Amino acid sequence: MTQVDYIKHLREKEGASISEIATRVQCSWKTAKKYADGNIDLQGRGKRRRKKRVMEGYEEWIEAWLIEDQRMPRKQRQTAKVMYESLLELGYQGSDRTVREYVRRIRQEMQNKAQEQAIRLEQIPGEAQVDFGEFKAITGTELKTYYELVLSFPHSNGQACQVLPSENTVCFLHGLQSIFEIIGGVPSVIRFDNLAPAVKKIQTGTDRVLTEMFKTFQWHYRFEAEFCNPGRGQEKGHVENKVGYVRRNNFSPVPVINDLEEFNRELNDKMRADRDRMHYTKGTLISELWEEDLAQLLPLPSTPLEIVQLNTRVVNKYGEIKVDKYLYRVPNVSPGNRVLVKAYWDRIEILDEYGEKLLHSCPRLYLQSAKDIDWASELEIFIRRPRAVERAVYLKALPDCIKDYFLSTEDLKERRQRIKAMVDVLRQYPLNIAIKAAELALSYGKTDEGSLKTFAAYEEGAFDTAPTPLEEPWTPSEVAQWQPDLSIYDLLGVVSSNE
């Protein structure tokens, strides 16, 4: 445990005073106060040069040899002495005693891991687990990849969730921060996988080198972070199950996301409603156990942490800067000038070199996996199933005029013909042409296949003027608008039965 962590521990966990901390840690009162109650900026802390260990760079050789030895008969396994001699040939300059001690420790860890048995972890109120999941959603006319960040409480079997456009550091921390605000507090202990936004390097045992942004976030919200052993996802099995549960119950069939903020609000309304069911083993409502979890949460800080990545960029000759493989135009800034970039999860702010003047702000772009929907292929399956088009998943993303073109008729034969006509148009023209053709067809009341194709051809520029329905002035309006009374045919059956 570092000195800073120990000071935080004494203050938060043991309730020690500043003077007592200064005495126990043997530091000045000012230093104890700074790290116990102050906000710590890791990005501003200097780094001391670490002395290189004699074994550094040679551990992987020993570990590889020991793993290979597990496949060999015991009598043919390498001894620590043989490994030491092999390391000398590789340039090792330490003693054989250091090698023997390292070999002994790694062998013991491998043996403990082999003998490890799964145990049921104690479910303590207020302790949580976190994990990411992935799913597809319709945005506009594309099928995009989104990420669900789920925080679950094993004690109550409840969960909260935020949908994000990426798994990067600022999205991850923003998602956690949003969940803390939704539930009204911070779990005292949170178990994570060794995800890149939090863990920079995995060391032996439970030691981790954390990213600076995550460490600052952890200190600001005062929770204890635990990390699973590599490849041991079952150590946070509760949240892994919850990721699948949330996906099955909320993202199937494929949802439509046009406003991410509104989608997250509706999602967490569903999360709250989901707690009004019985716990699978405890015979109590999840909502009641959830209150026990909430009672153990740490209070939120008085001010939220600003989650942002700072970078400097030089404006290129086209007046652009590059952030995460995307080019952003910087208006009214000369090429060659240096600017400060503040990258939030949802926007990019570009300031002058000294960070004093805001030059430009724009939405942040993400390299989300996306593909255009093949509308013709999706609609073709409903030519023989015209009634089912009302429940088609991808119909949610179609413009209203095309949906009206199908659904404005209850006659299934007519609907089948309209679907076929639209499929043919979509195979020949882009979606925007099909939209305008459908609008014209509905406005003129000409919804047959020939008319739809004619309107589409006009929109593409095949005609100079819009085709209009033929006007036929000779038939009197009384005759043109006359509709036969079909009920008289029912009387024929009555007359026949009387005879």
The answer as to whether 192 is a domain residue is yes
The answer as to whether 47 is a domain residue is no
Q: Which residues, 6+ apart, have CB-to-CB distance to 122 below 8 Å?
A: none
The answer as to whether 49 is a domain residue is no
Whole-angstrom distance, CA of residue 304 vs CA of residue 394: 39
| DSSP type of residue 425 | H
Tokens coding 484: 């036969």
State how beta strands 142-153 and 158-164 pair. antiparallel
In the chain, the percentage of residues whose pLDDT exceeds 90 is: 30
Q: Are residues 254 and 143 in the same domain?
A: yes
The answer as to whether 477 is a domain residue is no
Picking from 423, 393, 428, the residue whose alpha carbon sits closest to that of residue 406 is 423
Q: What is the pLDDT of residues 460-478, one digit of tens each?
A: 776 555 555 555 556 666 6
pLDDT at position 292: 93
Domain end position, chosen among 91, 115, 139: 115
* pLDDT of 422 strictly over 70: yes
The answer as to whether 51 is a domain residue is no
| Number of domain units in the chain | 5
For residue 348, give Cα distances in angstroms to 165, 230, 322, 382.
15, 34, 11, 43
Q: What angle do CA 37, 39, 41 make, to 5 degrees?
A: 140
Q: Are residues 386 and 405 in the same domain?
A: yes
pLDDT at position 337: 92
pLDDT at position 305: 93
* pLDDT of 404 strictly over 60: yes
Taking residues 341-354, what's their average pLDDT?
Answer: 92
pTM over 0.95: no
Q: Are residues 149 and 95 in the same domain?
A: no
* pLDDT of 82 strictly over 80: yes
Q: 422 or 474, which is more confident?
A: 422
Whole-angstrom distance, CA of residue 201 vs CA of residue 189: 21
Q: Are residues 385 and 343 in the same domain?
A: no
Q: Are residues 142 and 291 in the same domain?
A: yes
Lowest mean pLDDT among 80-84, 134-138, 364-368: 364-368
According to DSSP H, which parts of 341-392 are helical? 375-380
* pLDDT of 283 strictly over 90: no
pLDDT at position 368: 62
State how beta strands 127-139 and 142-153 pair. antiparallel
Lowest mean pLDDT among 87-91, 147-151, 196-200, 458-462: 458-462
Q: Are residues 350 and 378 in the same domain?
A: no
Whole-angstrom distance, CA of residue 365 vs CA of residue 73: 56
**Secondary structure percentages of the chain, helix, strand, coil, to 5:** 45, 15, 40
Q: What is the pLDDT of residues 229-264, one digit of tens each?
A: 877 666 788 999 999 999 999 987 788 898 999 999
The answer as to whether 92 is a domain residue is yes
The answer as to whether 286 is a domain residue is yes
Q: Are residues 7 and 149 in the same domain?
A: no
Whole-angstrom distance, CA of residue 6 vs CA of residue 119: 30
Q: Which residues, 6+ apart, have CB-to-CB distance to 16 below 8 Å?
A: 10, 24
* pLDDT of 128 strictly over 90: yes
The answer as to whether 171 is a domain residue is yes
Q: Are residues 141 and 253 in the same domain?
A: yes
DSSP-assigned beta bridge partners for residue 341:
311, 350
Q: Are residues 357 and 380 in the same domain?
A: no
Q: Are residues 280 and 184 in the same domain?
A: yes
Q: Are residues 381 and 404 in the same domain?
A: yes
Q: Are residues 322 and 398 in the same domain?
A: no
> Can you give the residue range of the structural domain that contains 104?
59-115
Domain of 249, CATH number, reads: 3.30.420.10
